[in-house]
């Protein structure tokens, strides 16, 4: 048995090609689940408030089914060892016309993506460095009505005059 055969059996792979979504949107979700256990990744994807989470969730479920059926792996012990998001075919993205002023038109480029997920029994050897960027959690909705907040006219974070001049109760004896 060659080394390549043992490498293939060490991880189960699933591919998603020509996803009609930009790679940057999918990478945001892929970075969030890379290196996590499959259970944790599926829970994160199921409740993520991001449109790009759905195709990646389907892809992880497909890779999990491949691991259990084709490679006889235990689904509870698997990790997302590798997930890559690549751009689709260069120059062959879907083009849509965007009408402009005076009878002109611009092209909107609808980008495509290829996603690959590999699941293995061992977590990634070295954890990736945390990169800046948006998370995939649900956005919090804040109410910004001045009437709903007490003391709406005061600047945020400043101490009031009464508290600033009065000595602290705990230090005075």
What pLDDT score does 108 carry? 82
What pLDDT score does 106 carry? 87
Mean pLDDT per segment of 10 residues, for the chain of length 173 residues? Answer: 56 93 92 92 92 95 94 91 89 77 87 94 71 61 55 56 56 52
Query: Is there a domain that residue 128 lies in?
Result: no
Cβ atoms of 15 and 115 closer than 8 Å: yes
Q: What is the CATH number of the domain that holds 83?
A: 3.90.470.10
- For residue 103, the enclosing domain spans 8-120
Count of domains for the chain:
1
What pLDDT score does 1 carry? 47
Query: Is there a domain that residue 129 lies in?
Result: no
């Amino acid at each position: 048995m060659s080394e390549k055969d043992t490498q293939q059996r060490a991880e189960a792979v699933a591919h998603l090609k020509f996803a009609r979504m930009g790679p940057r949107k999918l990478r945001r979700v892929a970075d969030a689940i890379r290196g996590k256990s499959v259970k944790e990744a599926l829970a994160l994807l199921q409740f993520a408030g991001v449109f790009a989470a759905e195709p990646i969730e389907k892809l992880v479920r497909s890779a999990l089914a491949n691991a259990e059926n084709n490679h006889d792996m235990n689904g509870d012990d698997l990790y997302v060892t590798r997930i890559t998001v690549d751009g689709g075919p260069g120059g062959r993205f879907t083009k849509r016309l965007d009408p402009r002023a005076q009878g002109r038109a611009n092209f909107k480029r609808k980008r495509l993506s290829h996603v690959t997920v590999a699941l293995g029994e061992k977590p990634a050897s070295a954890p990736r460095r945390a990169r800046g960027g948006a998370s995939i959690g649900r956005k919090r909705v804040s109410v910004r009505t001045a009437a709903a907040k007490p003391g709406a006219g005061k600047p945020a974070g400043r101490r009031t005059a009464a508290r600033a001049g009065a000595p602290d109760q705990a230090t005075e004896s």
